[in-house]
Amino acid sequence: MADPFIVEVRRNGVLEAVHRVHAVAVRNGAVVDERGDAGLTCFMRSSSKPLQALPLVRARDDLSQADIAIACASHRATTEQLAAARALLAKGNSTEDDLELGLQEGRPPAKIYNNCSGKHAGMLALCDARGWPKQGYHEAQHPVQQACADAHAEAAHASIDELPQGNDGCGVVTFAMPLERMAFAFSNLPQLPHANRITEAMRARPELVGGADGADVLLMQRTESWIAKGGAEGLLCAVDLATSTGIVLKAEDGAGRALGPALAAFVGVQLPPLYVKNTRDEIVGEVSLRTPSA
């Protein structure tokens, strides 16, 4: 087993922080590359969103690629992203008052600005399509969350009882797996019924899925066949649609800034340099992979 990636943060050449990033790649049910501990277990958090969108796309034929992409998003509340979230709400005959999530610190005091509002709009649209009650859709016993649990079990080839459950930052259920099992689940995603609508939408509209500087968005924009979704606490899950190779990267200390340099090295893709900036928007440092000689 190779050591995890080491990502360093330097300010004017002085080392300020060090992050360890574990990574695993799975193809055809087998581990084909590994750095660090592939058995490390954590919650999938927002990396689950492409799986959580499966019940939605299976229930509705009227979704645009923008609808599906925003349902998979951890958005930055750009004008375009907010418009997509509101459009999906309207398609599901719902309003912002129906969203069962809280306000997000540092953003305007309205639930639509929460970075998970697109996912929640999708869950409401699922309720609308299936005739399920909208109230309480975020609760574990609600049919929406049961359908999402089934989608995770389907992708991971696991029983629901094998997947520890927690409460995500936006209030819905999140599931824990070893990194190797997450990579396996993502490797299976392209073959799951109707999942092609999700992968095609994320490839077509990556700018709706996250921020322009996000490692997941950059990977989709700079490659021909990858989809990717980041999650809280330094997690990123992705799949190469050309080879059905699923990968997962996890920063041991939860630092999302470590993902870009490690992802570039693990996948072999060129991503933009990652700089540290001060409040004057001046470059004062950089985040980069430790070289073997360092």
Mean pLDDT of the chain: 97
**121: helix, strand or coil:** helix
Give the CA distances from residue 145 to residues 2, 60, 90, 139, 243, in Å, rounded to whole numbers and listed in that order. 37, 17, 21, 7, 30
pTM: 0.97
Predicted local distance difference test score (pLDDT) of residue 291: 81
Average pLDDT estimate for 13-35? 98
Check pLDDT > 60 for residue 294: no
Please determine, for residue 292, whether its predicted confidence score (pLDDT) is greater than 90: no
Q: Look at the chain and report how many structural domains it folds into.
A: 1
Q: Does 294 reside within a domain?
A: no
Looking at the domain assignment, is residue 41 inside a domain? Answer: yes
DSSP class of residue 30 equals E
Rounded to whole angstroms, the Cα distance separating 9 from 274 reads 10
- Quote helix, strand, coil % in the chain, to nearest 5: 40, 25, 35
Tell me how many helices (H) and strands (E) the chain has.
Answer: 11, 11
User: Are the C-beta atoms of 190 and 196 separated by less than 8 Å?
Assistant: yes
Number of Cα atoms under 13 Å in the Cβ half of residue 266: 36
> 252 and 19 in contact (C-beta within 8 Å)?
yes
pLDDT digits (tens, 9 = 90+) for 38-87: 999 999 999 999 999 999 999 999 999 999 999 999 999 999 999 999 99
Pairing of the two strands 165-167 and 226-231: unpaired
Instruction: Write out pLDDT tens, residues 272-284.
Output: 999 999 999 999 9
Q: What is the spatial distance between Cα 69 and Cα 148, in angstroms, rounded to a whole number? A: 17
Percent of the chain exceeding pLDDT 90 equals 98
- In sequence order, what are the residues at sequence separation of 6 or more whose Cβ sits closer than 8 angstroms to the Cβ of residue 167? 173, 174
Question: What are residue 117's phi and psi, to 5 degrees?
Answer: -65, -30
Q: Kindly state the average pLDDT of the residues 154-178.
A: 97
| Residue 68: closest CA among 257, 203, 230 | 203
Query: Each residue of 194-233: pLDDT tens digit?
Result: 999 999 999 999 999 999 999 999 999 999 999 999 999 9
Judge whether 93 lies within some domain: yes
Distance separating the N- and C-terminal Cα atoms of the chain? 20
How large is the angle between the packed helices 215-222 and 259-267, nearest 10 degrees?
Answer: 30
Is 53:68 a contact under the CB 8 Å cutoff? Answer: yes
**CATH number of the structural domain spanning residue 278:** 3.40.710
- H/E stretch holding 111 reads none
CA dihedral 161, 167, 173, 177 (to 10 degrees): -50
Is residue 183 situated within a structural domain?
A: yes
Residues 26-32: what's their mean pLDDT? Answer: 98
In a domain, 18, yes or no: yes
Looking at residue 49, what is its pLDDT?
98
Alpha-helical segments (H) within the chain: 49-52, 54-59, 65-71, 79-91, 117-130, 143-156, 179-188, 195-204, 206-209, 215-222, 259-267
Residue type, 62: D
| Boundaries of domain holding 111 | 5-289
Residue 81: what are its φ and ψ, rounded to 5°?
A: -70, -40
Confidence of residue 293 (pLDDT cuts 50, 70, 90): low
